[in-house]
Amino acid sequence: MTLDELKKMIAEGKLIRDADLSGVDFSTQDISGAKMQSCSFSGCMMRDADLHDASLVECDFSKADLRGANLMGCDLYGADFTGARMRRSNLTNSNRIGAKIQQWALKGAYIAGPTAYVD
């Protein structure tokens, strides 16, 4: 799936399942409001990407570079951030229940809101 195809599906409000987007460069891209489940963003460059209010349930962000990414209000239930870089990421008011996020990855990240992450 290309970035343009993904953006079209997001604009149409479609649920995207099981898409392999590994290695795609999402830097500075706006994919806010996306509805995705069990998709792979493994190894993706996502620096300063805007993903606010996206539903990214059980998605794989392992080894992704999310530095400066906007994840405000995201549903990250069950997502895997193993080995991800998240400095300056904004996770304010995101649902991080069941998400795998290593403590060191969050150094310098913005975290606020009622839902704590679970390692």
Helix (H) or strand (E) holding 8: helix 3-11
- Going along the chain from its start, the domains and CATH numbers come out as 1-119 (2.160.20.80)
Q: How far apart are CA 35 and CA 31, in angstroms?
A: 10
Residue range 72-115, pLDDT digits in tens: 999 999 999 999 999 889 999 898 888 888 765 666 666 666 55
pTM metric for this prediction = 0.86
Over residues 20-54, the pLDDT tens digits come to: 999 899 999 999 999 999 999 999 999 999 999 99
3 sits in which H/E element: helix 3-11
Q: Are 74 and 97 in contact (CB under 8 A)?
A: no
